[in-house]
Amino acid sequence: MNLKDFKYLVALADTGHFGKAAAKTFVSQPTLSAQLRKLEDYLGVKLVERRPKNVRLTEVGRQIVVRARRMLDESNEIIALARNNTDPYSGKLKIALIPTIGPYLLPRVMKRIRKALPDLGLMLYEYQTEPLLKLLREGDIDVGIMALPAPPDGLLSCELYQEDFTVALPTHHPLTDKTTIKAQDLRGHTLLLLEDGHCLRDQALEVCSRVGVRESEDFRATSLETLRQMVAAGLGITLLPELAVDAGFGSQRGLAVRRFAKPAPARRVGAVWRKSTTRAAAIHELCGIIGQAITAKT
């Protein structure tokens, strides 16, 4: 049983004439005749009544033509669906960012992306690194944007930019006197950090642990913004990634930011995707745009 056979049948139903139906379907009349006979044999039912002057559908034939039409409609819809998705830069692209990047990166790049890839439907998600990687591997999302390095198994990645860490201090904190800060300067100060699961927490700890900074024991921020508020309230200091510094959410009152002395500790931010992805073209384009946007603004 073949889709073409049903095309022939429907054409015959429309024209009531073998020759015209054949012309309509761009085959010879014997072909249509034979194929229709084959279909009738296969179904074990007479579909049309051949009459000297024209052809009339059987009762069963009529019922079957209804279904056949629906089938052909579906097939056309499939073709249309495929045609609309032929453009590799169209369709949905599911992209997840970690919480310490998303809110600060997106405002800087979304406008450019929309302009460069207007047909790309970006679906944005926010997950911490571990669940993000899990969803990525399972195919629930197409791209992850996170701190590199990413585990190499089945994944590819591309660095988008590096961002230095900065030190966020209460306005009247002694360290505000310095224009640049060295890691050792942090010794003895109380460090406020994000809760477990945020990679930024681990990165900050790695910077500070070498010089013996002690972490505030009874506090774990759930987001960078609350962390920022706590620092402004004078409860301690923290490290902020560069992109998060200028984000003008709420007021910056009570908060001072100082850069590290070169070479400043930094993290690499990149995009990660499956080797086997079908959206490589769109992803590469996306990476180019984001990289360009960040380096241009910095």
The site for its own copies (CB under 8 A) is made up of 1-3, 43-46, 49-52, 56, 58-60, 63-64, 67-68, 70-71, 74-75, 77-79, 81-83, 85-86, 91-92, 139, 154, 274, 276-278
- Alpha-carbon span 253 to 201, nearest angstrom: 24
Output the smallest distance, CB 209 to its own copies, in A: 37
Binding segment toward DNA, per CB under 7 A, in 12-20, 91-99, 225-233, 252-260:
12-20
Output the smallest distance, CB 154 to its own copies, in A: 6
Among 3, 14, 34, 111, binds DNA (CB under 7 A): 34
Tokens of 226: 């609350």
For DNA, which is the closer residue by CB, 171 or 278? 278
For DNA, which is the closer residue by CB, 154 or 212? 154
Kindly identify the residues of this chain, within the stretch 134-173, that bind DNA according to CB under 7 A: 153-154
Output the smallest distance, CB 17 to its own copies, in A: 14
Other Cβ atoms less than 10 A from the Cβ of 30: the count is 10
For DNA, which is the closer residue by CB, 30 or 107? 30
Among 2, 85, 171, 209, binds DNA (CB under 7 A): 2
75 binds DNA (CB under 7 A): no
CA dist list (Å): 82 to 69, 129, 139, 276 = 20, 33, 20, 20
For its own copies, which is the closer residue by CB, 71 or 266? 71
Residue 296 gets the label, from left (phi > 0), alpha (psi -120 to 50) or beta, of alpha
Partner that binds at residue 134, options its own copies, DNA, none, CB closer than 5 to 8 Å by kind: none
233 binds DNA (CB under 7 A): no
CB 156 within 8 A of CB 273: yes
Output the smallest distance, CB 42 to DNA, in A: 9
CB 191 within 8 A of CB 238: yes
Output the smallest distance, CB 72 to its own copies, in A: 9
Strand partners, 274: 155
Partner that binds at residue 91, options its own copies, DNA, none, CB closer than 5 to 8 Å by kind: its own copies
For its own copies, which is the closer residue by CB, 51 or 115? 51
Which residues here bind DNA, judged by CB under 7 A?
Answer: 2, 4, 17-19, 26-31, 33-38, 50, 52-55, 153-154, 275
